Structure 1
Amino acid sequence: MTSYKQTLDFLYNRLPMYQRTGPAAYKNTLGNTLVLDELFKHPHTHFKTIHVAGTNGKGSSSHQLASVLQEAGYKVGLYTSPHLIDFRERIRVNGQLIPEADVVGFVNEFLRLNEEAAIEPSFFEMTVAMAFDFFRKSQVDIAVIEVGLGGRLDSTNIIHPEVSLITNISLDHTALLGNSIAEIAEEKAGIIKTNVPVVISESNEAYNEVFQHKAEAMNTSISFADKEYQANYAMFSPEGKQIFNFHQRGELVFPDLKLDLLGNYQRHNLAGVLKTLELLQESGWAISQQAIYEGLAKVTANTGLRGRWEVVGNNPLMICDTAHNEAGLTAIVAQLKATPWKRLHIVLGMVNDKKLDDVLAILPREANYFFTQAKIPRALPAEELVDKAAQAGLTGVSISSVAEAVAEAQSQATPEDLIYIGGSTFVVADYFS
């Protein structure tokens, strides 16, 4: 490969990619990951890690942890997926994107090394290996590694982290991970390692025992963060940050804790983040209270996170969010109800492997819908979404592109209205593109 454009073409079009094509690209084995790790001489053994899994909130939690560790003075790698605009968003060091030259160099080195091994990795397997190799070359102190899908068989699951964090479990990717909460929890619990403490951000009777049994089998401690850290509601600072008063076992421990990520659901993620940071402190990591306060107040500036209840316009208020399953969109609907508006307009697109009936049933019927589709093969056609939505009592029009759907929503909205853009990470990605 001689150019970055050629390299991206190879990654996107020559390798199976779950985000674009769906289950056909999913590998239910760590075989290729282990071969890649061997080819590149086990880069993940050269730095410390934190492993983050869960159905919802793992991206936000990963960015919050990375931001705090940066403020504590550490050189921090951050691996997340998917990206919104630029492939390089997946791999960052202290918030900076991996350089294009390093992406090209890694793929060329893989092609050279693979002449003998002759494996056919997926897009995700390649990007994980690329991240680990880049973090080693960058000599990071610690890397926050977000699971891509599931846990047990995810390509990231060769690391031995300082702490494992699992945010929550709900029904998503059921075709691959299981048809019940307990089955999906078993897959997520696969990241729990021997003698590595595990934190669960949100406890739930449907899966607590699954994690407890796995922790016992791995001879490690387990903490349910929401049973220790609580903040019932948030206020807003003049500069638009959320302000939480977090109590630990009834004692106020983080008064006036500011977070620049909006969305009331972030309080659940914060509980897991605070417990994870506490465990890191106990194991010798130098993380001051000031670093926690500064890191959480500057997540977007430090890490570049976007698309979490992000305000992208005013008069009318325009908000986008990457929530894409029933649990995530339930939280979004609750926040929409708590947000003032004269009329609600929703630009909605979905992928074709979600349980649409469950998702559509929770969406507000009084909204004016603009049904659309992202520019990926996995997108559910807008016309089909219109038909499905009508059966759920939702009314609106079909518009073939996200940009056109947003423009139409803006043309119909008054300054007192609210336009929400979401339903899929890829709808938000198209909006930003």
Structure 2
Amino acid sequence: MSDTSLSNPNSPNENASLTEWLDYMQQIHVSAIDMGLSRVLPVAEALGVVQSAKDDTYVFTVAGTNGKGSTTAVIAQMCQAAGYKTALYQSPHLSVFNERVRINGEMVSDQVLIAAFSKVEAARLQCELTLSFFEMTTLAALLIFAEADCDVWVLEVGLGGRLDVVNIIDPDMAVITNIAIDHVDWLGDNVEDIGAEKAGILRDDISLIYGAIEMPDSVQQAIDKHQTNCYQVGQDFSHRDIDAGTWQYSNAAVTMQLPRPALSLTNTANALSAVLASPLNIDTDAIEAALQTVKLAGRFDYREIDNRYWLFDVAHNEQGVEFLLAQLLPLWEQHVADQNTAEHADSAPATIKMLFSMLADKDIEKVVQRLTETGLPISEWFIAEIDYPRAASTEHLQGILVNHVDDAQVHEFERLQSATYAVRAVSQPQDLIVVCGSFHTIGEALSALDADNLS
């Protein structure tokens, strides 16, 4: 093997910080994304995490193109509200790595993570294998859940499904939120290939919640192969708005009027379907309590910060933008109505200011096209390159934007921190600042606001 970490290990010592561990794990493998389970399974077996997940543990695994974070958050909150010790694994994070690994809603500490990283590193070296950052950190999360003896594991797939490290764990309940074109370099450039990858989380005789009206043939073939009991939105369950504070969920067995959560109703309905189809004892009181408390930073995350209104959403592909716009249009109408009755009603009309950046391997053109053709009053765009290896350059972003908006509306900055400060400075109290395009865009904007003691 060519990786020098095997012949000359340079693992952080017992006094290393979480940052030192994260930096180290970024460097020990030849590529950031290396799909496949052949290297991961021996290390997982050495750690005992595969067997631990089978022992008195109920596992939800959630795959899909968009909505995985919201769906896993709602499932976990419902299980926790019902009294189950609940593990939640999500990725990526927005501000701190610890966000990825939670038990009963609380991020695990640096010390717990470091101890798990150390054990994964020892097992990796014992097996004489290299692992990517995502593989290392996911194994650490699973080890933490096993050692904490959690009742329920709620696992978000990172990329695809079939070859994602999360798929070393056999789920008791699978969820596929939706399937759209994304990550074409790894999953394929059509929904049939992508569907086959995501349906790789299925196992024989388990249940699947499928959260989209259209289903690729490849997913149906996987359902037939595994004799999966499939519950599909529009056929086996549905939801609808009632008013600003309530919504209705229905399946063949129940109709429930429930408090409206702060997250997407589509994803909430998928999560509720998974919980109801499971053997877990989760009653209406727990469901209602969970819906009133569940939240997830960066998912249609509407906040007032330092006398400015901000909306943070991690939409980073065409379908994600469709979800965003479906919720943004009614929010904007309500926002305008609120401002017309506020103390600055005589000021200039409220506008939307966009703080925007994306990764270069995303379809930036389609995202920008959807955002600009809605008729929303986006008066200015503030763009900058994200501090991430796959980031689109500011020049690339600008080149796409000027095909859709006037050049004078686009303001370029070297870093997103500067763009964040600039949009805050030029906006008015009645405006809405929308931040979207990537998890990294949201994370850097929030970090900038934190650094300036605004958030």
TM-score with structure 2 setting the length: 0.85
Closer, same or farther in 2 for the Cα pair 1:410/1:114, shift >3 Å?
closer
Measure the CA separation in 2 of the matches of 1:49 and 1:200: 17
After superposition, what is the alpha-carbon deviation per residue over 1:208-249, rounded to whole angstroms, capped at 9, x for unaligned? 433222111112211103333333336334xxxxx2122335
Measure the CA separation in 2 of the matches of 1:267 and 1:152: 27
Say which SS state the counterpart of residue 363 (structure 1) adopts: helix
Measure the CA separation in 1 of the matches of 2:101 and 2:291: 20
Q: Give how far 1:146 is off.
A: 0.5
- The answer to whether structure 1 residue 409 and structure 2 residue 418 are counterparts is no
Partner of 2:381: 369
Contact 2:59 2:154 in 1 (8 A): yes
- RMSD in angstroms over aligned alpha carbons? 1.9
Measure the CA separation in 2 of the matches of 1:115 and 1:324: 36
Measure the CA separation in 2 of the matches of 1:124 and 1:405: 30
Measure the CA separation in 1 of the matches of 2:58 and 2:328: 39
Contact 1:212 1:222 in 2 (8 A): no
Measure the CA separation in 1 of the matches of 2:269 and 2:212: 8
The letter of the residue matching 2:153 is A
Contact 2:303 2:311 in 1 (8 A): yes
- The answer to whether structure 1 residue 325 and structure 2 residue 317 are counterparts is yes
Contact 1:169 1:184 in 2 (8 A): yes
Say which SS state the counterpart of residue 116 (structure 2) adopts: helix
Contact 1:44 1:133 in 2 (8 A): no
Measure the CA separation in 2 of the matches of 1:202 and 1:115: 42
Contact 1:245 1:252 in 2 (8 A): no
Partner of 1:248: 251
TM-score with structure 1 setting the length: 0.89
Closer, same or farther in 2 for the Cα pair 1:393/1:416, shift >3 Å?
same
- The answer to whether structure 1 residue 386 and structure 2 residue 398 are counterparts is yes
Measure the CA separation in 1 of the matches of 2:121 and 2:141: 16
After superposition, what is the alpha-carbon deviation per residue over 1:369-403, rounded to whole angstroms, capped at 9, x for unaligned? 11122211111111220012112336411112222
Larger radius of gyration: 2
Partner of 2:16: 3
**Where do residues 208-219 of structure 1 align in structure 2 (5 Å cutoff)?**
208-219=216-227
Q: Give how far 1:362 is off.
A: 0.9
After superposition, what is the alpha-carbon deviation per residue over 1:55-114, rounded to whole angstroms, capped at 9, x for unaligned? 001110001000000011100111110011111111111012222222222222233333
Which stretch shows the higher mean deviation, 411-420 or 122-131?
411-420
Say which SS state the counterpart of residue 359 (structure 2) adopts: coil
When the two structures are aligned, how many residues end up with a matched partner? Answer: 407
Partner of 2:8: none
Partner of 2:301: 310
Partner of 1:272: 270
Say which SS state the counterpart of residue 385 (structure 2) adopts: coil
Measure the CA separation in 1 of the matches of 2:294 and 2:417: 28
Say which SS state the counterpart of residue 29 (structure 1) adopts: coil
Partner of 2:40: 33
Partner of 1:44: 53
Q: Give how far 1:202 is off.
A: 1.5
Q: Give how far 1:291 is off.
A: 0.8
Which stretch shows the higher mean deviation, 336-345 or 165-174?
336-345
Contact 1:258 1:293 in 2 (8 A): no
- The answer to whether structure 1 residue 299 and structure 2 residue 294 are counterparts is yes
Which stretch shows the higher mean deviation, 97-106 or 64-73?
97-106
Closer, same or farther in 2 for the Cα pair 1:208/1:257, shift >3 Å?
farther
Contact 1:323 1:329 in 2 (8 A): yes
- The answer to whether structure 1 residue 220 and structure 2 residue 228 are counterparts is yes
Measure the CA separation in 1 of the matches of 2:27 and 2:216: 40
- The answer to whether structure 1 residue 179 and structure 2 residue 189 are counterparts is yes
Partner of 2:109: 99
The letter of the residue matching 2:415 is S
- The answer to whether structure 1 residue 133 and structure 2 residue 146 are counterparts is no
The letter of the residue matching 1:30 is L
Partner of 1:21: none
- The answer to whether structure 1 residue 336 and structure 2 residue 328 are counterparts is yes
Q: Give how far 1:133 is off.
A: 0.7
Measure the CA separation in 2 of the matches of 1:308 and 1:116: 40
> How many percent identity over aligned positions?
28
Aligned partner of 2:240 among 232, 235, 246? 232
Partner of 2:414: 400
Structure 2 gaps of 5+ residues are 1-12, 337-349, 448-455
- The answer to whether structure 1 residue 286 and structure 2 residue 304 are counterparts is no
Contact 1:201 1:224 in 2 (8 A): yes
Say which SS state the counterpart of residue 369 (structure 1) adopts: strand
Contact 1:202 1:268 in 2 (8 A): no
Partner of 2:367: 359
Measure the CA separation in 1 of the matches of 2:234 and 2:136: 35
Closer, same or farther in 2 for the Cα pair 1:182/1:351, shift >3 Å?
same
Measure the CA separation in 2 of the matches of 1:332 and 1:133: 35
After superposition, what is the alpha-carbon deviation per residue over 1:146-169, rounded to whole angstroms, capped at 9, x for unaligned? 000000101011222221010001
Closer, same or farther in 2 for the Cα pair 1:126/1:115, shift >3 Å?
closer
Contact 2:210 2:270 in 1 (8 A): yes
Measure the CA separation in 1 of the matches of 2:42 and 2:103: 25
Measure the CA separation in 1 of the matches of 2:195 and 2:77: 28
Partner of 1:199: 209
Partner of 1:240: none
Measure the CA separation in 2 of the matches of 1:111 and 1:129: 10
Closer, same or farther in 2 for the Cα pair 1:113/1:163, shift >3 Å?
closer
Contact 1:226 1:272 in 2 (8 A): no
Say which SS state the counterpart of residue 414 (structure 2) adopts: coil
Measure the CA separation in 1 of the matches of 2:390 and 2:117: 25
Contact 1:333 1:364 in 2 (8 A): no
Closer, same or farther in 2 for the Cα pair 1:376/1:234, shift >3 Å?
farther
